[in-house]
């Protein structure tokens, strides 16, 4: 069970506010580093997203992990997929309002809504109308069969 994930963005307050809106939660100042936030949706799992400034990263400190400043890349491989309590139309409206890319994507066995925070950090959103596809596919049996089928297809070419 994932409980939280950290992302790094340029405008932490703006992104934290949008994530709170999308998740149906609330953004709080995060005291681990200046200009950082934590967004919590209040579910039984403690699901949260830590929002840190773009030029920061978690590093192995002397006693425990700490935040350090360092150069940043324009994009990141880190992303998260999450079910959200708002509709596809509401997500599209947020994208238009913020000037961020939003698109419905077909991943084969399921669909996701890509919301590109600051047009730089991708989050895959699963509104109620498509979440069941994802949840139905993401089982050990289904993923095992999918991976085996993909391996066979690659081996055949």
Residue 39 in contact with residue 21, Cβ under 8 Å? no
Indicate if the pLDDT at residue 67 is higher than 90: no
Residue 78 belongs to domain spanning: 4-156
- Whole-number pLDDT of residue 1: 65
Q: Please choose, from the candidates 39, 40, 71, 41, the residue with its C-alpha nearest in 3D space to the C-alpha of residue 53.
A: 71
Order the strands of the 48-53 sheet from edge to edge.
4-9, 48-53, 37-40, 26-29
Structural domain total, the chain: 1
How sure is the predictor about 69, in pLDDT bands with cuts at 50, 70 and 90?
Answer: confident
pLDDT greater at residue 69 or residue 86:
86
74-111 per-position pLDDT tens digit: 877 788 999 999 999 999 999 999 999 999 999 999 99
pLDDT greater at residue 41 or residue 77:
41
pLDDT mean over 126-153: 94
Residue by residue, DSSP assigns the chain as ---EEEEEES-HHHHHHHHHHHHT-EEEE-TTSTT-EEEE---TT--EEEEEETTEEEEE-SSSEEEEE----SS-S--EEEEESS-HHHHHHHHHHHT--EEEEE-SSSEEEEEEETTTEEEEEEEHHHHHHHHHH-SHHHHHHHHHHHHHHHHH-
Q: What is the pTM of this model?
A: 0.84
CATH code, domain with 36: 3.10.180.10
Q: Percentage of the chain surpassing pLDDT 90?
A: 76
The average confidence (pLDDT) of the chain is 92
pLDDT mean over 123-151: 95
């Amino acid at each position: 069970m994932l409980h939280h994930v950290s992302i790094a963005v340029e405008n932490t307050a703006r992104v934290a506010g949008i994530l709170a809106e999308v998740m149906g939660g609330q953004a709080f100042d995060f005291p681990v580093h200046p200009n950082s936030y934590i967004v919590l949706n209040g579910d039984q799992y403690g699901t949260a997203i830590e929002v840190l400034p773009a030029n920061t990263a978690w590093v192995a400190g002397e006693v425990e992990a700490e935040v350090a400043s360092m150069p940043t890349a324009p994009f990141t491989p880190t992303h998260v997929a999450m079910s959200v309590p708002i509709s596809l139309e509401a997500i599209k409206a947020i994208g238009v309002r913020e000037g961020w890319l939003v698109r419905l994507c077909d991943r084969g066995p399921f669909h996701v809504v890509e919301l590109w925070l600051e047009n730089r950090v991708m989050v895959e959103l699963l509104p109620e109308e498509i979440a069941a596809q994802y949840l139905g596919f993401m089982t050990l049996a289904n993923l095992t069969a999918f991976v085996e089928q993909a391996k066979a297809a690659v081996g055949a070419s």
